[in-house]
């Protein structure tokens, strides 16, 4: 990471820890960020969307987008960049939740959240679903900063990559959906 970005990231994260963390928000942010472990919250929501005919395409799109994001972020970018977590580089910095993955860049939680949200925005039938998905993604990204397990540039990169994965997932599912539903019925043999 370029030194000036690292310095900005560190200052921003220390400012968040000193000025925004509070006893009222701590339990909510800890719980919410941990619901995103392994993308579980968004995987469960994607499966719920699959259960209803009206939202099935959104569910398939979201799950596809998150799978693309998993491959891109967790299996490719994170190991290549290998950026250390904040508490490993900022002296006396305390993270609020345990984190087993030593690689910080980009945020996998934020990636999954935005992949889900953008795919839902591209394919869900109701506006409230789209707004809710985006709000949940934004809060997930903010929660990663709040609990101190990512730098701001990690979260920003996770949001950008996740959004691109959401677009790609929704596009791929739309193309497949069109093919499946446009296929002429088979003649009896």
* Ordered per-residue pLDDT tens for the chain, 189 residues: 789 999 999 999 999 999 999 999 999 999 999 999 988 999 999 999 999 999 999 999 999 999 999 999 999 999 999 999 999 999 999 999 988 888 999 999 999 999 999 999 999 999 999 999 999 999 999 999 999 999 999 999 999 999 999 999 999 999 998 888 776 666 666
Q: Distance between CA 44 and CA 41 in Å, rounded?
A: 5
Question: What's the confidence (pLDDT) of residue 177?
Answer: 85
Question: What's the confidence (pLDDT) of residue 100?
Answer: 84
Which SS3 state, helix, strand or coil, does residue 11 take?
A: helix
Q: How many CB atoms lie within 10 A of CB 139?
A: 17
Question: What's the confidence (pLDDT) of residue 189?
Answer: 66
Q: Distance between CA 6 and CA 90 in Å, rounded?
A: 10
CA atoms within 13 A on the CB side of 18: 8
Question: What's the confidence (pLDDT) of residue 168?
Answer: 97
Question: What's the confidence (pLDDT) of residue 187?
Answer: 65
Question: What's the confidence (pLDDT) of residue 183?
Answer: 62
Question: What's the confidence (pLDDT) of residue 185?
Answer: 64
Nearest-5° angle of CA 163, CA 20, CA 92? 95
30 burial via Cβ count (<10 Å: 0-12, 13-18, 19+) = middle
- What is the distance between the terminal CA atoms of the chain, rounded to a whole angstrom? 63
Cis? peptide before 185, omega within 30° of 0: no
**10 close to 89: Cβ distance less than 8 angstroms:** yes
What is the value of pTM for the model shown? 0.91
Question: What's the confidence (pLDDT) of residue 180?
Answer: 82
């Amino acid at each position: 990471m370029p030194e000036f970005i690292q310095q900005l990231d560190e200052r921003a994260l220390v400012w968040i820890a000193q000025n925004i963390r509070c006893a009222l928000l701590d339990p909510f942010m800890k719980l919410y960020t941990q619901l995103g472990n392994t993308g579980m919250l968004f995987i469960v929501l994607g499966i719920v969307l699959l259960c209803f005919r009206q939202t099935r395409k959104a569910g398939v799109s979201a799950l596809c987008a998150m799978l693309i994001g998993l491959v891109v972020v967790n299996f490719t970018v994170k190991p290549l960049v290998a950026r250390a977590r904040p508490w490993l580089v900022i002296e006396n910095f305390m993270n609020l939740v345990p984190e087993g993955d030593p690689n910080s860049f980009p945020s996998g939680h934020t990636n999954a959240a935005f992949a889900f949200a953008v795919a839902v925005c591209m394919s869900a039938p109701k506006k409230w679903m789209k707004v809710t998905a985006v709000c949940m993604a934004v809060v997930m990204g903010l929660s990663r900063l709040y609990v101190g397990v990512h730098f701001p540039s990690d979260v920003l990169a996770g949001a950008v990559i996740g959004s691109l994965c959401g677009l790609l997932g929704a596009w791929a599912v739309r193309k497949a959906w069109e093919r499946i539903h446009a296929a002429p019925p088979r003649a009896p043999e």
